Amino acid sequence: MADAERPAPAESPSDPHLFERRIGGTTLLSGGFLEVRRDEVLLPDGSPATREYIQHSGAVAVVPLLDDGRLVLVRQYRYPVAKVLLEWPAGKRDPGEALLDCAMRELQEETGYTASEWAYGGEIHNAAAYSSESIWIWFARGLVAGPPRPDHGEFVETVLLSEAELDAIANRDALPDVKTLIGLHWLQRWRAGTRPLAWLSAAQAAAL
């Protein structure tokens, strides 16, 4: 039974000895915030198994670089871990939304900033054992401040930090959010000349 929403196993075409093949499945939970699936699969040796996972539309995180060298981050209470986390502005992609549109929207909603230049950083999988989520990391510069427009029920505060300040926070293990650690690392690599970024004007990027 095919599932149009599931990607074909596209990577590592030489790995059929590891692939699991979907033969059926049901939706365990939907209509609220989380959509949970249970699929029946065949393991590489042909034996049956089940796989439960979150079907996720993906998320975007933005590393926003102010002209004065500071970075724009947000702090918010993350209920599942019962902690206030320091993070890049980020959010879930709306169904069918283009990645850059999502990045621009989340940056403006959470912090008020708009950006004149954008560069795509890369894709990460944050919970591949039980979630289909990808987080696509973008970099933004040429920032102009404006009023934040948080979603109803979203309490987020903007924080401006230098790269050295954020690095110090990471080094004292007070930056546990994975996308924020990885975005900072990629930023440092870009500054060091070892990870290129292809900057585009907002108009160029939107036309891609």
The two tokens of residue 1 are: 């039974």
Within 13 A of 82's CA, how many CA atoms are on the CB side? 0
End-to-end CA distance of the chain: give it in Å, rounded: 34
By CB under 8 A, the residues from 20 to 79 that bind its own copies are: 20, 28-29, 32-34, 36, 38-39, 41, 43-45, 47, 49-54, 59, 75-79
Bridge partners (DSSP) listed for residue 51: 39
* Closer by beta carbon to its own copies, 38 or else 105: 38
Q: How far apart are CA 179 and CA 1, in angstroms?
A: 34
Within 13 A of 91's CA, how many CA atoms are on the CB side? 24
* Closer by beta carbon to its own copies, 36 or else 202: 36
* Closer by beta carbon to its own copies, 84 or else 206: 84
The DSSP H or E segment spanning 160 is strand 156-161
Asked whether position 192 contacts its own copies by CB under 8 A, the answer is no
Of the residues 20, 52, 123, 154, only one is catalytic, namely 154
110 has catalytic annotation? no
* Closer by beta carbon to its own copies, 51 or else 141: 51
> Which of 40, 66, 70, 92: binder of its own copies (CB under 8 A)?
92
Residue found by looking up tokens 């440092």 in the block: 188
By CB under 8 A, the residues from 114 to 153 that bind its own copies are: 122-134, 153
Asked whether position 178 contacts its own copies by CB under 8 A, the answer is yes
Name the residues annotated as catalytic.
Answer: 154
